[in-house]
Amino acid sequence: MAPPQASAAQSAPPGPDGPQDPAAPPAPVLEAVGVSKRFPGVVALDDVSFTLRAGEIHALVGENGAGKSTLIKILTGVHRPDEGELRLGGEAVSFHRPHEAQQAGISTIYQEVNLVPLMSVARNIFLGREPKTRLGLVDFRRMHRETAELLGGFGITTDPRRPLHTLGIGTQQMVALARAVSVRARVVVMDEPTSSLEPREVETLFRVIGELHGRGISLVYVSHRMDELYRICDRVTVLRDGRLVHTGDLRDTDRVRLVSMMLGRELARVRKEAAEGHDDGRTPAAEPVLTATGLSRRHLLDGVALDLRPGEVLGLGGLLGSGRTETAKALAGALPLDGGDIEVGGRRLRRISSAAAIRAGISLLPEDRKAEGIIPGLSVRENIVLAALPRLSRFGFVSRRRQDRVVDIFVKRLRIKAASPEQKVGELSGGNQQKVLLARWLCLEPRVLLLDEPTRGIDVGAKAEVQTLIEELAAEGLAVLLISSELEELVEGADRIVVLRAGTVAGELTGGDVTEGALLTVLAETAPDAVPPQGGPEADAAPEPGAADVPDEAAAPGAGDVPEPPDAAAAPELRKEEDPR
């Protein structure tokens, strides 16, 4: 989220107060020795060794399909290795199920928090080991007290009686972490924990990670975000195509080298190509293909207006909760509006629905790939042709031959890696799933393509491919709307950026102004004046008032970088927006 601050934080990895003891003997806590795992048709891991030392934060990186997930699943008892062994504290162990790994002190925090949303915070933390009164009933008073103490230890003050789902995802993750700690975990495995967090929540997470580090707990940290890795991790293991590529201190490995190890190719060239691609000037047409005015929806959008020209990439900037996703959904007819007009090619859309928008040539690549995009049980082929079915049919019957032709074209063009078009889409890596979804929309030959976080959660290689593809599509005359939380991606990809705040257009950057600095300035300008009127009175409604002190603490090691103020200051406002839903 905030790339520039990483360089400053790099020097002090675990946080200010975490007792660092570099002198301590690096005894291994958890080891995988010569582990191999095969699945039908693929070798997921090939003779991989992994050593987690006591008290270290170990980054595990690799492209999608490199074998990270498989390795994690082996470490946490979900899978058993075909060859090789696991050692815990030097002794060979064999977990038959995840529960056994947990009992041995290995806790896992997944991307999607796996707790019980309707139960209270306290019940979640004590799930399965509730304290009992003498009568054998659950001792709620003790449970609540201990929960409050435990969370307080992490600087989280939230009511232990609150149902978990009423908290923000970030706080839920803290609860998951607290639970991991309270079951006396020795090892905590975190699989892309920050992918759905707001910047401020990330700060809190890092503080808690520092806390765990201080208690001598070892962490395995999986993330695609370089900044985070360099900020908090001690060592790194790189996997590629199921093989171990590198293990070593992160400090001795610079970013370019790390990324090129992950990719297995020269990074410099990728970067250069991308930069050149961006610079060779496309000339967007003068007439907009899409014009939206006054898009409004209670609590979400308040009169958003924008236009999109063929051949341009329009970036949609803004912090989380500013209405970016809602704007895209509104344009695609997927969000019922209270008011507003959408014109495509000079024609006003009368009934706004997904089907109408698609007919008018607007396609939306949704933010949540799993929930709103893929149909996991269907094949790659069926997922690609889904929206185009009526066009591939005659008298209601679908032509298999026409399907195959379309699928063949897009599998090749987007380089979708699947065993065959008949493979289930749920079995593909995130990057390939995203390409399948892109193919679904491209085979409709849209005029306007709305991309909501098209590169989130996909590996570096696929990311570069998708970014290049966006450039190509725009060059072919498509109008592209790009939403991204990564400033860099937005600035590099977009010709023009419209910045949203609280559901309205807060500013627009064009031409030479499309820079990270300018974007930050707009974000920073707009944020503060929104906070005071809204922030104060309902402090108890905010999920974690305790986290309000984050900026001060975080500012210490970060030495007050430029991007810090907007993120931190805007956060309370964003939270408020999210809460009522």
Partner 1 sequence: MTSFALPRGLDRPRIADALQRYGVYAAVLALLVFNGVFTDHFLTTDNLRTQLVQVAPVVIVALGMALVIGTEGVDLSVGSTMALSGALLPLYLGYGLLPALLVALLAGVVVGLVNGSLVSLVGLQPIVATLALFVGGRGLALVIADGQLKQIENTDLLSLGTDSVLGIPVVVLIAGVLAAMVAGLVQRTTFGRQLVAVGGNRKAAALAGLPVRRVLIGVYVICGVLAALAGVLATARLTASDPSSLGNLMELSAITAVVVGGTPLTGGSVRVLGTVFGALLMQLLHATLVTHDLHDSTAQMVQAGIILVAVYVARERRAR
Q: How many residues does the chain have?
A: 581
Q: Give SS3 for 247.
A: strand
Least distance in angstroms from the C-beta of 436 to partner 1: 12
Rounded Cα–Cα distance for residues 44 and 518 (Å)? 44
280 part of the interface to partner 1, by CB under 8 A? no
390 part of the interface to partner 1, by CB under 8 A? yes
Token representation of residue 226: 């370089």
The answer to whether the CB of 223 falls within 8 A of the CB of 459 is no
92 part of the interface to partner 1, by CB under 8 A? no
Least distance in angstroms from the C-beta of 308 to partner 1: 19
Q: Give CA angle at 497 (338, 470), nearest 5°.
A: 100
Least distance in angstroms from the C-beta of 85 to partner 1: 15
Binding footprint of partner 1, residue count (CB under 8 A): 33
454 part of the interface to partner 1, by CB under 8 A? no
Nearer to partner 1, 235 or 440 (CB): 440
Rounded Cα–Cα distance for residues 43 and 403 (Å)? 31
Half-sphere exposure of 533 (CA within 13 A, CB side): 3
Which of 14, 155, 373, 543 is in the footprint of partner 1 by CB under 8 A? 373
Rounded Cα–Cα distance for residues 163 and 172 (Å)? 10
Rounded Cα–Cα distance for residues 490 and 10 (Å)? 24
Rounded Cα–Cα distance for residues 302 and 310 (Å)? 26
Per CB under 8 A, contacts with partner 1 among 392-421 are 393, 396-398
Least distance in angstroms from the C-beta of 581 to partner 1: 16
305 part of the interface to partner 1, by CB under 8 A? no
Rounded Cα–Cα distance for residues 407 and 119 (Å)? 45
Rounded Cα–Cα distance for residues 137 and 153 (Å)? 27
Nearer to partner 1, 188 or 332 (CB): 332
Consecutive H or E run containing 274 = helix 267-279
- Other CB atoms within 10 A of residue 498 CB: 25
The answer to whether the CB of 108 falls within 8 A of the CB of 185 is no
Phi first, then psi: what are they for 91, rounded to 5°? -105, 140
Per CB under 8 A, contacts with partner 1 among 353-372 are 354-355, 357-359, 364, 366, 371-372
36 part of the interface to partner 1, by CB under 8 A? no
Which of 11, 22, 96, 552 is in the footprint of partner 1 by CB under 8 A? 96
Nearer to partner 1, 14 or 373 (CB): 373
Which of 389, 539, 556, 559 is in the footprint of partner 1 by CB under 8 A? 389
334 part of the interface to partner 1, by CB under 8 A? yes
Least distance in angstroms from the C-beta of 505 to partner 1: 25
Nearer to partner 1, 25 or 40 (CB): 40
Q: Give CA angle at 38 (382, 459), nearest 5°.
A: 60
Rounded Cα–Cα distance for residues 384 and 246 (Å)? 37
Which of 53, 440, 447, 501 is in the footprint of partner 1 by CB under 8 A? 440
381 part of the interface to partner 1, by CB under 8 A? no
387 part of the interface to partner 1, by CB under 8 A? yes
Nearer to partner 1, 92 or 375 (CB): 375
38 part of the interface to partner 1, by CB under 8 A? yes
Nearer to partner 1, 59 or 106 (CB): 106
Q: Give SS3 for 357.
A: helix
Nearer to partner 1, 272 or 370 (CB): 370
Least distance in angstroms from the C-beta of 418 to partner 1: 17
Beta bridge partners of 481: 314, 450
431 part of the interface to partner 1, by CB under 8 A? no
423 part of the interface to partner 1, by CB under 8 A? no
Rounded Cα–Cα distance for residues 213 and 231 (Å)? 13
Rounded Cα–Cα distance for residues 408 and 429 (Å)? 19
Nearer to partner 1, 207 or 440 (CB): 440
Least distance in angstroms from the C-beta of 540 to partner 1: 33
Q: In the complex, which residues of this chain contact partner 1 (CB under 8 A)?
A: 38, 40, 80, 82, 96-97, 332, 334, 354-355, 357-359, 364, 366, 371-378, 382, 386-387, 389-390, 393, 396-398, 440
